[in-house]
Amino acid sequence: MQQYDIIVAGAGPGGSTFVRCLADTDLRIALIDKATFPRDKICGDAIPGTAIRVGRRRSRDYWDGLPALNPLRRTRGFSPSGTILDVEYVNDGYTCPRLDFDQYLLEQALTYPRLDTHFGTKLKNLVRENGQNIATLSDGTQLSAPLIIGADGAHSVVAKKLTDTKMDRNHYCAAVRTYYRGLTDIKDDRMMFYFLDGFLPGYFWIFPLKDGLFNVGFGMLSRQVSERKIDLRDSLDRIVAESPQVKSHFAHAEQVGKNEGFGLPLGSRTVPRSGDGFMLVGDAAGLIDPFTGEGIGNAMMSAEMAAAVARECLASGRLDAKSLRAYDKAVTKKMGFDFKMKHLGQRILADRPWLINGLMWLASGNRLAHWALKKVV
């Protein structure tokens, strides 16, 4: 049995950021991932400003070594009736393939000298015994630590073993994405969002990456997907081929790769995110923005908050549920109100295309509404 101070399950943005935030300590940390890196992650590849800011809080030049980061300046939204709304960014916005982005974050974590990695092997079982988390990996390795961080994504084993939280389709999205080359009339610094009749609440996106590549995808609330028996992969192909607002961009395009889907646990409900000897970050904690579907920034921000609490609690030797609740409180304080408002917005706009049409029309011609929208994106 290998003994550590902290086991981190998952080396995505949440897990890597957590380790990087403790780089100035001498804690013994084990980082586990079922994948071997570099690995891809099904995603829209939009890197929110919150993610950029978490990196810059580590060092001002944090992102200088990531040339795949594509800066964006604006967003174009299409309402179901075709009203176009252009918004210039006031905040940072980027795209970057997750293959490069997650590898870069991991390399930042790997500079931590007391880190052991266990890659290409799954966290299979987890039990708590005498104040220790005993993790069994699929290759038979056993690790033990008083604190475990669940950064193992939407199907978190840590969350399943240590909480009673169940998947709830009202607070869960399903999305598919693929890649294309050769799209026409799309600017390489502009994200495109389409709210399409029949596919609400949700949206279709075209996000430009570097070197002429585009991430193209479509996501909806899981309850609607199952109630209306929507096949997301099939719908993505239909939108590209048939939607009047979309299809002209794809007339000479070539698809690169398959339509691939994955789940998005939304932050619109409050669930336990810590307990005796554990904290959950990112998707494992259900922290995806209920309106935009962005989760990378919140995964990194929650990891930063969990690292701050871990640092204090390990120093005082108090890793009980009551002490670690400071993390839940910090997450709710930082993100709770925003999640509630966005969930409300999502519920109000769901199945009301006339309201989306009206709001986008209003925002496109009204400077105050336009200014308010700029603050949101």
Nearer to ligand FAD, 83 or 277 (CB): 277
CA 281/CA 10 separation, integer angstroms: 10
Nearer to ligand FAD, 83 or 246 (CB): 246
Nearer to ligand FAD, 83 or 96 (CB): 96
The answer to whether the CB of 269 falls within 8 A of the CB of 286 is yes
CB of 177 to ligand FAD, least distance (A): 5
Please choose, from the candidates 287, 276, 308, 265, the residue with its C-alpha nearest in 3D space to the C-alpha of residue 17: 308
CB of 266 to ligand FAD, least distance (A): 10
Nearer to ligand FAD, 2 or 357 (CB): 2
In sequence order, the β-bridge partners of residue 119 are: 33
Nearer to ligand FAD, 18 or 83 (CB): 18
CA 157/CA 42 separation, integer angstroms: 19
CA 101/CA 281 separation, integer angstroms: 18
The answer to whether the CB of 260 falls within 8 A of the CB of 225 is no
Can you spell out the DSSP letters for 249-283? GGTT-EEEEEEEEEEEEBTTS----EETTEEE-GG
CB of 198 to ligand FAD, least distance (A): 19
Binding site for ligand FAD (CB under 6 A): 9-15, 32-35, 41-46, 48, 122-123, 151-153, 157, 175, 177, 217, 262, 264, 282-284, 288, 293-297, 299
Can you spell out the DSSP letters for 13-43? HHHHHHHHHTTTS---EEEEESS-SS----S
Report the largest interatomic distance among the alpha carbons of the chain, rounded to a whole angstrom: 65
Q: Which residue is nearest to ligand FAD (CB)?
A: 295
CB of 2 to ligand FAD, least distance (A): 16
Residue 135 φ/ψ, nearest 5 degrees? -105, 130
Nearer to ligand FAD, 83 or 297 (CB): 297
CA 309/CA 359 separation, integer angstroms: 41
Place of tokens 């549920």: 321
CB of 265 to ligand FAD, least distance (A): 8
Supply the angle between the helices 321-331 and 296-316 in degrees, to the nearest 10: 150
CB of 322 to ligand FAD, least distance (A): 25
For 355, the enclosing helix (H) or strand (E) is helix 353-365
CB of 11 to ligand FAD, least distance (A): 5
CB of 8 to ligand FAD, least distance (A): 10
Nearer to ligand FAD, 35 or 362 (CB): 35
First to last CA, the chain: 48
- Three-class DSSP category at 302: helix
Nearer to ligand FAD, 287 or 313 (CB): 287
CA 63/CA 291 separation, integer angstroms: 27
CB of 215 to ligand FAD, least distance (A): 7
For 99, the enclosing helix (H) or strand (E) is helix 98-110
Nearer to ligand FAD, 119 or 361 (CB): 119
